[in-house]
């Protein structure tokens, strides 16, 4: 019999210092996930998971997300081939965020724009307070 | 005169391929921010910014956040001394997430639990599907 991977939320002490995985989903049933690339350490993307996506990610070792724009479960790489193999999953102090450390499959381009990372622009600020984005990829 | 650092949201093409910084705040007026440490490349924390926090971060070069638990603007380090100096700010393809690359001040312990990073536990899964958290820091 398969056991639920999620524990109920306990006290602040339990959540922060305990060994039970009790992720906190927001009022839309989602938790934010930062996905980093094992080889480079770079952030590839920020996405969201619902309970099912998180459970499937744990079960299969392959990153699943919840697409807020398509309102659908999304196994990363199903259409693009860029399957993400999970090397390690982490959670933060209050367990309302997930970090996935992955090996990126396919051509390694995690971003739908065809880039390796979604964070391909840096914000530059001029002396007068205006900003512009500079491309890094 | 100081110019607004934020551009209006344009088309998908503008947002993804343009040079205008047009961050998307959610229905609570917040944008998620992943803060990484320059020296190690590690994720220190995931937090949220409202428009004012993001503007102040740009203006001062020091990380400001919005505390959802305290409902207050929060200049990181004001009470702890762990001021974060921004080395670089990035945004993602759809500009609904921020990455801050920082140098951590004070004792460098970004997490309120006294650890360097909030992501101090990894999720381990047993064959029966149960999970537990293993401390890395």
Tell how many helices (H) and how many strands (E) occur in chain A. 2, 8
How sure is the predictor about B137, in pLDDT bands with cuts at 50, 70 and 90? confident
Hey, of A10, A21, A94, A111, which one would you mutate to test binding to chain B, going by the most B CBs within 10 A of its CB?
A: A21
CB contact under 8 A, A118 and B3: no
Share of chain B above pLDDT 70, in %: 99
Judged by CB atoms closer than 8 Å, whether chains meet at A92 and B131 is answered as no
The three-point CA angle B111-B37-A55 to 5° equals 65
Residue pLDDT, tens place only, A66-112 = 999 999 999 999 988 899 999 999 999 999 999 999 999 989 899 99
| Residues 81 through 120 of chain A touching chain B, CB cutoff 8 Å | 88-93, 97, 99, 111-113, 115, 118-120
CA–CA separation, B91 vs B95, rounded Å?
5
> d(Cα B2, Cα B93) in Å, to the nearest integer?
27
- Residue appearing with tokens 């380090």: B77
Distance CA A84, CA A66 (A): 15
The nearest alpha carbon in chain B to A15 belongs to: B133
pLDDT digits (tens, 9 = 90+) for B1-14: 568 899 999 999 99
From A121's Cα to the closest Cα of chain B, the distance in A is 6
Average pLDDT for B122-126:
96
Q: Does residue A137 carry a pLDDT above 90? A: no
Q: pLDDT category, A5, cuts 50, 70, 90?
A: very high
Q: Are A133 and B43 an interchain contact pair (Cβ–Cβ within 8 Å)? A: no
Exposed/middle/buried for residue A43 (C-beta within 10 Å: 0-12, 13-18, 19+) = buried
Q: How far is A57 from chain B (nearest CA, A)?
A: 11
Q: Does residue A31 have a pLDDT over 90?
A: yes
Beta bridge partners of A39: none
Radius of gyration over every alpha carbon of chain B, rounded to an integer in angstroms: 17
The ipTM assigned to this model is 0.95
Does residue B34 contact residue B28 with C-beta atoms inside 8 Å? no
pLDDT at A1: 58
The residue behind tokens 């099912």 is A52
- Please answer yes or no on whether A121 and B90 come within 8 Å at the CB atom: yes
Q: Let me know: does B105 contact B84? Beta carbons within 8 Å.
A: yes
Residues 6 or more apart whose CB falls under 8 angstroms from that of A115 comprise: A109, A137, B93
pLDDT of residue B1: 58
Task: Give the rounded percent of residues in chain B with a pLDDT score beyond 90.
Answer: 91
């Amino acid at each position: 019999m398969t056991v639920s991977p999620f524990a109920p939320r306990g006290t602040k002490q339990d959540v922060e210092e305990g060994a039970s995985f009790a992720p906190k989903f927001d009022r839309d049933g989602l938790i934010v996930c930062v996905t980093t690339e094992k080889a480079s350490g770079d952030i590839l993307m920020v996405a969201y998971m619902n309970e099912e996506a998180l459970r499937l990610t744990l079960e299969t070792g392959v990153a699943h997300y919840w697409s807020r724009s398509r309102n659908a479960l999304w196994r990363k790489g199903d259409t693009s081939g860029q399957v993400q193999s999970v090397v390690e999953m982490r959670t933060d102090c209050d367990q309302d965020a997930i970090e996935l450390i992955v090996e990126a499959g396919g051509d390694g381009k995690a971003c739908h724009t065809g880039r390796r990372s979604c964070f391909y622009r840096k914000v530059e600020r001029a002396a007068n307070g205006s900003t512009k984005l500079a491309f890094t990829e």
